[in-house]
Amino acid sequence: MDNWEIVLSVMVGVGLSAACGFRVFIPPLVLCIAGKAGHVTFGQEFAWMDSNVALAAFGLAALLEVGAYYIPWLDNALDTVAAPAAVVAGTLTSASVFGQDMSPWLKWSLAAIAGGGAAGAVQVTTTVTRGTSSALTGGSANWLVSTGEGVGAVITATLAIVVPVLVFIGMLMLAGYIIYRNPLKLYREWRQRNAPDEPVPEPPVMAT
């Protein structure tokens, strides 16, 4: 495996991991479909990824996950579980597409740092977006956020396989945004600017 193939496989892995930040099970499902179609080749360690059992399992899990995010208030509760799950899914998904000739130590180190980090970064952004939507609309607009996340997971995972360089550049831009324009900080600043003014207390009445 030459250096370009290694770099390309890392880009594919990071892109798929980023998609796991939107939805945990949609990227593995897309990867499984791509494997069965012959667009992705898995090593012996991940040969099960393009099996019919994996396709059925990922398909059912993705369907249940997407549906759960349309249940009011359950969507916010799921974010507490989705954060660590996205990191794990991103690590495993990225490791599955890294080069077969890559050493196990390098493969899992890159998968944990680059893959898990990309999934975690996207998950933080989606969690903040959902929290802001809940605060502003009382959760009535969360279905729009959920729809956007589902579509984003499908598009990002597909582009990661077809045009991995594009997704990798997008991840670098997202990382820069998170570092220099912290969404949590922006949300706190917005709350402070839009907080209602506290009433001025009336002076005490002197007894006569």
- Spell out the domain ranges in the chain: 3-186
List for the chain the helix, strand, coil content (%; round to 5).
Answer: 75, 0, 25
By CB atoms closer than 10 A (0-12, 13-18, 19+), residue 196 is: exposed
Q: Pick from 22, 26, 20, 49: which is nearest to 37 by CA?
A: 49
Percent of the chain with pLDDT over 70: 82
Q: How confident is the model at residue 151 (pLDDT cuts 50, 70, 90)?
A: very high
Report the pLDDT value the prediction gives residue 130, as an integer from 0 to 100: 81
Q: In terms of pTM, does the model score above 0.85?
A: no
The mean pLDDT value of the chain amounts to 82
By CB atoms closer than 10 A (0-12, 13-18, 19+), residue 74 is: exposed
Average of per-residue pLDDT across 175-203:
58
Q: How confident is the model at residue 183 (pLDDT cuts 50, 70, 90)?
A: low
Query: Over the stretch 40-90, which tens digit does the pLDDT of each residue have?
Result: 888 888 989 989 999 999 999 999 999 988 887 787 778 788 889 999 999
CB within 8 Å of 186: residues ≥ 6 apart: none
- Rounded to an integer, what distance in angstroms lies between the CA atom of residue 18 and that of residue 37? 22
Query: Over the stretch 115-137, which tens digit does the pLDDT of each residue have?
Result: 898 898 888 888 888 878 878 88
